[in-house]
């Protein structure tokens, strides 16, 4: 740790060296924020020192948070973000492998803006039973915020925690999130506020964050239009747009399989989440752009120009597998793929093909893609490009994309304007994809790299696919033109072979918008508008009406099935089935109330939503679904009852055929739990167990004894009653007790 004294140094030699060092650093790294204490160590008399010293920042953090004693390695830095300067502090163990503790402290106010206490988990997934309840976590968070920001409490609104989903394993978040929303002029400002994450196991603080916009940047709430006028503008603009929708598949499609396409209404992403300017009544447009993935079947919104990102969803084939595929299918060779690229691009002589691989696109077992990479040979001047990459459909030879290096900042002026750049881009698309071009439409929010974004002359254009007059934003083309060299430097095509449903038997736009606004009425609030063209990334604060879930609503979704009128989640499944915490209202003073509550908090046993039906006999399907949810940290989307039975058999929990709707007696339940705990080999040992119960057979004695030792059942007396049919409350109790033993 470096601590800087406030005493000024007066040595002429030191000051001379400092001045030289500062000048050299600024020449080499203009605009760089000084790191750590270096800024103070070399600061001359005219440089303004932070109002809060590094020593004070460290003390503030240590006064309010417990830093692990073994985190003896320390570093610091000065950061600037959105016009706020902060000390960035990091503690970690010497090997830096087990975790770290970081915090940011405002250099002017001394306020802690962020804290994160991250710990590595080298053991992998483990069962973790919360020992802290929601109410306790909230009390811990309230105490912290009161100590840190008591002056802000009048502007903070504590938000409900009702749907916090706490898994019983370390697969998911291990903390309750307690959140305060800021109120300005009595109006909600959702992006401003304070969040605290409290560890479910010991009540320690996992993270803390505060976003607080200076009041001078927040507009007055004068001249606000009525909610009814905002709703009229929302309906008129048709912000809830009819679209074709495909969900990202959780696994690669089977051979010959196709993605399921739905007709849905979604908020048009040309606008700010359905926001209406509360002062003018006009919809607020945004400038985020649309991006399409690589490959013929890739869904939208996931594209990246880096080669690492390109391979994220692809399975690279070994040479042996590639040879076999070449024999069994009619794929073009690497040389033919290179020829396909050269048909459209002129590759400079200094670039040499350095790497290639044949891969799947991750979504279809039938699609193969050649990924080709060229690098400079070092024999040409530096002004020549030093690398490029391209992707080619290995079955058709279709060019799916290419990337040249993006130019850095230049002083040369563009020789063509944006309209001329668009013409150049569209001429290229018409040449390379004439049939696709007829189905493309330029996105309204296409100018992500247009005026003001950078000074390198790049102009980006994003086109989405239109089928039957309906947008399908999961397919399209994005293309970038260098307006100085008049060259296309980036091109990416996504075009899936899909079956699009006919546009009939659907809700009209007015019905859909009415349904949305009933579930998520327009609410007056402040919001942040980010302009990609601003280098400092400072958002503009606007007063808007925006759809928000109604108070007490359990569903938050902006995707509406156009045929059924049902809200969907991001996977295209009914949003009513989304995993959430359940707060059972019918468990009263049940003996298993604590265990049932824990499972409900983890989003398990939600077949009846917030009713549990404690005395109902449990089915095998319901029990196995709960066990798998605990094991995986969540339910696996789209799993059928047959999938669940098959998975349980693969895990070794079930050794016999059984119907998901079947009930289960205490003996079979015990065998299932003992296998789940991987103790069956111990249970089968003979003549080592005392007779715990008087009514069990000899070959079951080990199972019964282990169940008794674990405390699996709430039994009184000396009988086991093997044939007793398990109820839901008994199963919940036994499952949690078994999990505690497994932990």
CB 669 within 8 A of CB 731: yes
Where does the pLDDT of residue 382 fall: very low under 50, low under 70, confident under 90, or very high at 90 and above? low
CA distances from 135 to 167, 178, 536 (A): 17, 10, 40
Q: What percent of the chain has pLDDT over 90?
A: 55
CB 563 within 8 A of CB 506: yes
pLDDT of residue 258: 64
Q: Is the pLDDT confidence value at 292 over 50?
A: no
Tell me: the pLDDT tens digits for 653-681?
Answer: 998 889 999 999 999 999 999 999 999 99
Tell me: the pLDDT tens digits for 506-545?
Answer: 999 999 999 999 999 999 999 988 765 444 557 789 999 9
| Dist CA 498 CA 501 (whole Å) | 10
Q: Catalogue the long-range contacts made by 21-29 (C-beta closer than 8 Å, 24 or more residues apart).
A: none
DSSP symbol at 292: B
Angle between helices 509-519 and 227-237 (to 10 degrees): 140
Tell me: the pLDDT tens digits for 333-377?
Answer: 899 999 999 999 999 988 999 888 888 765 555 678 999 999 987
Q: Strand 262-267 relative to strand 559-561: parallel, antiparallel, unpaired? A: antiparallel
Tell me: the pLDDT tens digits for 710-720?
Answer: 999 999 888 99
DSSP symbol at 300: B
Q: Which residues of 504-538 are buried (b: 16+ CB within 10 A; e: fewer)?
A: eebbebeebbebbbebbbbbbbbbbeeebeeeeeb
Where does the pLDDT of residue 136 fall: very low under 50, low under 70, confident under 90, or very high at 90 and above? very high
Tell me: the pLDDT tens digits for 53-77?
Answer: 999 999 999 999 999 988 999 999 9
CB-based burial label for 215 (10 Å; 0-12, 13-18, 19+)? exposed
R_g of the chain, CA atoms, integer Å: 31
Where does the pLDDT of residue 7 fall: very low under 50, low under 70, confident under 90, or very high at 90 and above? very low
215 token code pair: 């009041």
Q: Is the pLDDT confidence value at 25 over 80?
A: no
CB atoms closer than 10 angstroms to residue 68: 15
Phi and psi angles of residue 287, each rounded to the nearest 5 degrees, phi first: -130, 45
Q: Is the pLDDT confidence value at 639 over 60?
A: yes
CA distances from 169 to 129, 134, 173, 627, 629 (A): 7, 17, 9, 12, 10
Where does the pLDDT of residue 466 fall: very low under 50, low under 70, confident under 90, or very high at 90 and above? very high
Cross-strand pairs, 372: 356, 390
Angle between helices 666-676 and 701-710 (to 10 degrees): 70
pLDDT of residue 315: 59
Cross-strand pairs, 264: 243, 561
Mean pLDDT in residue range 628-635: 77
pLDDT of residue 40: 38
| Dist CA 416 CA 409 (whole Å) | 17
pLDDT of residue 321: 57
CB 487 within 8 A of CB 481: yes
pLDDT of residue 31: 38
Mean pLDDT in residue range 317-330: 59
Where does the pLDDT of residue 140 fall: very low under 50, low under 70, confident under 90, or very high at 90 and above? very high
CB 624 within 8 A of CB 739: no
pLDDT of residue 38: 36
DSSP symbol at 155: G
Q: Any idea what the Cα angle at residue 79 is, between residues 75 and 80, rounded to 5°?
A: 175
Where does the pLDDT of residue 690 fall: very low under 50, low under 70, confident under 90, or very high at 90 and above? confident
Angle between helices 620-632 and 641-651 (to 10 degrees): 60
| pLDDT mean across residues, the chain | 82
3-state secondary structure (DSSP) of residue 737: helix
Tell me: the pLDDT tens digits for 248-274?
Answer: 765 545 445 567 899 999 998 788 889
Per-residue 3-state assignment (H helix, E strand, C coil) for 313-369: CCCECCHHHHHHHHHHCCCCCHHHHHHHHHCCCCCCCCEEEEEEEEEECCCECCCEE
Mean pLDDT in residue range 565-577: 86
Tell me: the pLDDT tens digits for 73-109?
Answer: 999 998 877 668 899 999 999 876 778 999 999 999 9
DSSP symbol at 656: S
**Sign, CA torsion 680/684/685/688:** positive
CA distances from 728 to 597, 598, 639, 663, 725 (A): 13, 14, 21, 10, 10
3-state secondary structure (DSSP) of residue 604: coil
H/E stretch holding 183: strand 175-184
CB 712 within 8 A of CB 670: yes
């Amino acid at each position: 740790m470096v601590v800087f004294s406030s005493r000024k140094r007066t040595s002429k030699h030191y000051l001379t060296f400092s001045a030289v060092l500062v000048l050299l650093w600024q020449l080499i790294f203009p605009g760089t924020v000084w790191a750590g204490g270096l800024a103070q160590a070399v600061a001359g008399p005219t440089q303004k020192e932070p109002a809060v010293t590094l020593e004070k920042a460290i003390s503030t953090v240590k006064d309010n948070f417990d830093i692990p004693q073994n985190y003896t390695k320390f570093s610091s830095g000065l950061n600037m973000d959105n016009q706020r300067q902060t000390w960035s502090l990091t503690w970690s163990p010497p090997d830096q492998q087990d975790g770290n503790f970081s915090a940011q402290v405002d250099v002017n106010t001394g306020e802690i803006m962020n804290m994160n206490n991250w710990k590595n988990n080298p053991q992998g997934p483990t069962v973790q039973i919360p020992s802290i309840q929601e109410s306790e976590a909230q009390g811990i968070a309230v105490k912290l915020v009161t100590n840190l920001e008591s002056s802000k409490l009048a502007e903070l609104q504590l938000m409900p925690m009702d749907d916090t989903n706490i898994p019983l394993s370390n697969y998911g978040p291990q903390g309750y999130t307690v959140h305060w929303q800021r109120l300005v002029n009595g109006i909600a400002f959702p992006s401003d506020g304070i969040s605290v994450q409290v560890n479910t196991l010991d009540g320690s603080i996992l993270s803390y964050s505060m976003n607080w916009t200076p009041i001078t940047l927040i507009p007055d709430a004068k001249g606000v239009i009525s909610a009814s006028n905002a709703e009229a503008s929302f309906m008129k603009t048709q912000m809830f747009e009819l679209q074709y929708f495909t969900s990202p598949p959780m696994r690669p499609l089977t051979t010959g399989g196709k993605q399921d396409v739905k007709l849905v209404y979604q908020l048009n992403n040309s606008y700010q989440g359905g926001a209406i300017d509360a002062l003018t009544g006009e919809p607020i447009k945004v400038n985020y752009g649309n991006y399409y993935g690589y490959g013929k079947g890739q869904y939208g919104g996931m594209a990246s120009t880096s080669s690492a990102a390109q391979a994220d969803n692809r399975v690279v084939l070994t040479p042996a597998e590639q040879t076999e595929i070449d024999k069994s299918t009619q794929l073009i060779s690497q040389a033919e793929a290179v020829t396909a690229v050269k048909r459209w691009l002129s590759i400079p002589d200094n670039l040499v093909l350095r790497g290639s691989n044949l891969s799947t696109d991750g979504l279809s077992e039938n699609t193969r893609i050649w990924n080709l990479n060229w690098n400079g040979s070092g024999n040409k001047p530096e002004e020549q490009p030093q690398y490029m990459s391209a992707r080619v459909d290995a079955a058709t030879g279709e060019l799916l994309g290419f990337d040249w290096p993006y130019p850095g900042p230049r002083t040369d002026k563009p020789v063509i304007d944006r309209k001329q750049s668009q013409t150049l881009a569209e001429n290229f698309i018409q040449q390379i994809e004439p049939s696709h071009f007829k189905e493309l439409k330029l996105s309204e929010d296409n100018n992500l790299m247009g005026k003001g974004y950078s000074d390198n002359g790049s102009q980006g254009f994003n086109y989405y696919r239109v089928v039957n007059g309906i947008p399908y934003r999961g397919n399209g083309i994005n293309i970038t033109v260098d307006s100085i060299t008049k060259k296309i430097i980036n091109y990416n095509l996504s075009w899936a072979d899909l079956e699009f449903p006919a546009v009939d038997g659907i809700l009209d736009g007015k019905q859909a918008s009415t349904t949305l606004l009933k579930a998520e009425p327009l609410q007056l609030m402040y919001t942040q508008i980010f302009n990609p063209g601003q280098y400092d990334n400072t958002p503009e604060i606007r007063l808007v009406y925006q759809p928000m879930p109604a108070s007490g609503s359990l569903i938050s979704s902006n995707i509406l099935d156009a045929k059924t009128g049902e809200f969907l989640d991001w996977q295209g499944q009914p949003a009513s089935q989304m995993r959430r915490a359940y707060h059972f209202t019918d468990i009263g003073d049940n003996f298993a109330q604590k265990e049932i509550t824990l499972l409900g908090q983890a989003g398990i046993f939600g077949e009846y939503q917030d009713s549990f039906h404690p005395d109902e006999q449990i089915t095998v399907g319901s029990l196995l679904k709960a066990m798998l949810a605990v094991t995986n940290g969540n339910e696996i989307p789209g799993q059928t009852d047959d999938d669940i039975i098959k998975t349980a058999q693969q895990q070794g929990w079930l050794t016999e055929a059984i119907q998901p709707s079947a009930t289960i007696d205490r003996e079979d339940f015990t065998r299932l739990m003992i296998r789940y705990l991987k103790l069956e080999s111990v249970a089968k040992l003979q003549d080592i167990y005392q007779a715990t119960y008087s009514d069990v057979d000899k070959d079951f004695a080990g199972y019964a004894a282990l169940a008794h030792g674990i405390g699996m059942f709430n039994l009184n007396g000396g009988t086991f009653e093997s044939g007793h049919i398990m109820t839901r409350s008994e199963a919940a109790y036994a499952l949690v007790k078994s999990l505690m033993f497994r932990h």
